[in-house]
Amino acid sequence: MSHRVAFITGASRGIGRTTALTLSGAGFGIVVASPEVENNELVAAEIRASGGDAMTLDFDVTSPESVKEGVSRAIKEKGHVDVLVNNAGIARDGLAIRMKLSDWDLVMKINLQGAFLCSQAVLPGMMKSRWGRIVNISSVVGQAGSVGQANYSASKAGLIGLTKTLAQEMASRNITVNAIAPGYIQTDMTAVLPEEVKAKILASVPLGRIGKPDDIANAIKFLVSEEASYITGHVLAVNGGMYM
């Protein structure tokens, strides 16, 4: 079999971008999938510049058509998709009592339904080749909850349930399905938080530092490797000890 191919949603920046570069360095062909077309191209160019292999997709996880079409394009161009990293995610924070239904729906659609649709699209190919890895990017708030994040924490907790069910359904085909629950990681998404909120979060991290996208990407690299072949249905917390 030619080299393995990793399909990464939300790969245009943040954790997704770092994961794309990290897995490329580990020898994977990369599918950079996100709706941020220009950023996708920048990530792909960076991968190619360091000798890697990448294709880009203008990819919308809220659209079943876009997901189906994108995955089949990737399979057509690359021959197979062996690894799926469901990383696409957004936050629309607000107290539950005042939360707009549209903010609830959008977060659920991207963070949870998107991961479901992408998994559904790649699984037939993985089942055929009897090898596959799915990694869902959950969150510490999916485990512990968080004020002002009813939609986000519910979507991330939902990913944990999805992970465990898919792991059970797919185990006999040699496909592992795991989740990573990042803590407070330095990305565009957390950059917008007010300074006092950042200070408060940092105070709750026993290791005393903010996580880097590399911390998550390296955990993903392990879970998709041969070395992790006996791990499935697991939620790996990468959070500096902020929740145990």
Catalytic positions, written as ranges: 152
By DSSP bridging, strand 175-182 and strand 132-137 are: parallel
What's the rounded Cα separation, in Å, for the pair 4 and 196?
44
- Cα–Cα distances (Å) from 40 to 12, 30, 125, 142, in that order, read 5, 11, 24, 28
Please enumerate in sequence order all residues whose Cβ is within 8 A of that of 111, keeping only pairs 6 or more positions apart, or say none.
Answer: 88, 89, 90, 152, 155, 156, 158, 159
What separation in angstroms does the CA of 99 have from each of 92, 94, 102, 103, 145? 9, 6, 8, 7, 16
Q: What is the DSSP letter of 185?
A: B
CA distances from 190 to 53, 197, 242 (A): 30, 10, 16
Half-sphere exposure of 118 (CA within 13 A, CB side): 37
Q: Sign of the C-alpha dihedral, residues 12, 177, 120, 23?
A: positive
End-to-end distance of the chain based on CA atoms, in angstroms?
Answer: 40
| Phi/psi of residue 183, nearest 5 degrees | -90, -135
